[in-house]
Amino acid sequence: MSLGVLSPHMNTPANIQGILIGDKVYSEVFLAIDSSIIPEESLSSTPSMLDGLDHETETDLRILGCELIQSAGILLRLPQVAMATGQVLFQRFFYSKSFIKHSFEIFAMACVNLASKIEESPRRVRDVINVFHHLKQGKGKKSTPLVLDQNYINTKNQVIKAERRILKELGFCVHVKHPHKIIVMYLQVLECEKNQMLVQTAWNYMNDALRTNVFVRFEPETIACACIYLAARVLQIPLPFKPHWYLVFGVTKEDIKEICISTMKLYSREKPNSEQLEKRVEKRKVALEEARLKAKGQNPNGTPALAAIGGFSPASKPCKFLFGFRRSHSGTYSSQSSHSPSPRQHKGRRASPITQLRTERDRQSESSRNSNKRRQSRSRTRSNSRERGRDRDHVKHKHDRGHHWDHRERDCDRSRDHGRSKHQSRSHSGHSHSRHKR
């Protein structure tokens, strides 16, 4: 039995009344193993496909993630049931979230760490990170130890947060019913449990099927029958067919055929390349980010893309007017007062916000130009009046100085004339006196 969550999509009994939240009715906690089975409509449109990732790339990412979990479990010496639980949790999570928005490697580490706790074989997060670091380097290369720096601390925090995210998305429904014991029990019913080759081959096919999505599509009893059927066909061991043995266990031939085809396709696929897959995911992530910013009207660097709406740009335009005067080709300036017609003047049209913004901007610029004109005209008037006043003062001062010098010259001439006349009178009186004396 597994634990369900408060979900409006869960098949709850009719007599249980839920809680109305918004327009949906949420029921109470319901225990059912079929809550982990994903419906067919969710398989055709996964979150990764909705983000633009193709089906082949998503399948390779699922296979690669499950292989990493299996290899890491072997190096960590985990039991097979813990590795199987980690792979099933990995498949379940990425049917609710996208590979574009979540790193498959980080969540593979989180699935290993969580599965080791579920199956009561806990491992440290540090050991899990070291094992994945060793697997990423490859087998043919010399393994270098992981440096305990800030990058390691960030990775550890991401793994812990990813584990919590898995629990949240799955609603803490982390129980997995494995077909291991069911295979042995069915072979005992068929009286083939002593055939160790048949038991081991069916077990191997079941472990390989963990890389596919059959564990989230079918019940464990159906998977056990399909693995026994495939192993018997490969080893050419006859099984009862009148009636067919799998009908006794409530399994249909169509389900067995679907599981066998999905499992056999694994052996014909090429081994996924992690570097190429990461490049595809990163390319698609960049495209989604650009599309999101474009929908918001922003550039990839986060600045607003105002050029896309009406050609408006906050950049300054070439200066056509200089302080309210238009410059002609000859180099002189003449006044210019041109008013652009407002879009509101056109009848039958409604001005857009950008047009209204331009009109308001033109009005402000026109008012600023007019104010500049008035200020400049007042300043020119004041300067001209000051110049004229200085000229009048200069002329008056010059006139006053000239008049003053004229008076001084007249006074000097008068004094000279007076002295000359006095001297003449004295000389004349002396001559007359001398003549009289004789």
Window from 226-240, 282-296, 324-338 with minimum mean pLDDT: 324-338
Residue 433 has which token pair? 């006196």
102/96 Cα distance (integer angstroms): 11
Which residues pair with residue 3 across a beta bridge? 31
DSSP class of residue 302 equals S
pLDDT over 50 at 346, yes or no: no
Backbone angles phi, psi at 48, to 5 degrees: -70, -40
374-399 pLDDT tens trace = 666 666 666 666 666 666 665 555 55
Spatial contact of 190 and 171, defined as CB atoms under 8 Å apart: no
Average pLDDT on 397-415 reads 57
- Quick one: average pLDDT of 355-365? 66
Tell me what pLDDT residue 399 has: 56
123 — phi, psi (to 5°)?
A: -130, 155
More confident residue, 124 or 347: 124
Predicted local confidence at residue 168, as pLDDT: 92
Q: What is the pLDDT of residue 437?
A: 42
Average pLDDT value for the chain? 77
**For range 39-56, the mean pLDDT:** 88
Span 156-181, mean pLDDT?
Answer: 92
Residues forming a β-bridge with 26: 19
| d(C-alpha 204, C-alpha 234), whole Å | 12
User: How does residue 344 score in pLDDT terms, banded at 50, 70 and 90?
Assistant: very low
For residue 265 the two structure tokens come to 């396709």
Mean pLDDT of 64-85: 95
pLDDT score recorded for residue 108? 96
- How far, in Å, CA of 344 to CA of 364, rounded? 17
Least Cα distance to 166 among 76, 73, 95 occurs for 95
Assigned architecture for domain 177-271: Orthogonal Bundle (1.10)
pLDDT of residue 145: 83
% of the chain beyond a pLDDT of 70: 64
For residue 75, the one-letter residue type is L
Q: Which residues of 265-279 are buried (b: 16+ CB within 10 A; e: fewer)?
A: eeeeeeebebeebee
The length of the chain in residues reads 438
- CB proximity list for 113: less than 8 A, separation 6 or greater: 123, 125, 128, 159, 163
Q: Which of 241, 217, 223, 210 is nearest to 183 (CA)?
A: 223
The pLDDT assigned to 343 comes to 45
Split at pLDDT 50, 70, 90, the class of 21 is confident
- Asked if residue 223 lies in contact with residue 206, where contact means CB atoms within 8 angstroms, the answer is yes
Type and span of the H or E element at 326: strand 325-327
More confidently predicted of 428 and 92: 92
Higher pLDDT, 413 or 51: 51
Q: How many CB atoms lie within 10 A of CB 284?
A: 19
Query: In angstroms, rounded to a whole number, what is the distance separating the alpha carbons of residues 40 and 53?
Result: 19
Does residue 188 surpass a pLDDT of 70? yes
Residue with tokens 């041109």: 338
Structure tokens at 136: 């990423």
pLDDT of residue 246: 92
Q: What pLDDT does 347 receive?
A: 46
Residues 19-24 have a mean pLDDT of 79
How confident is the model at residue 20, as a pLDDT?
81
Distance between CA 227 and CA 224 in Å, rounded?
Answer: 5
Which two structure tokens, joined as six digits, stand for 38? 């994903």
373's tokens = 């004109």
What are the residues whose beta carbons fall under 8 Å from the beta carbon of 340, sequence distance 6 or more? 359, 362
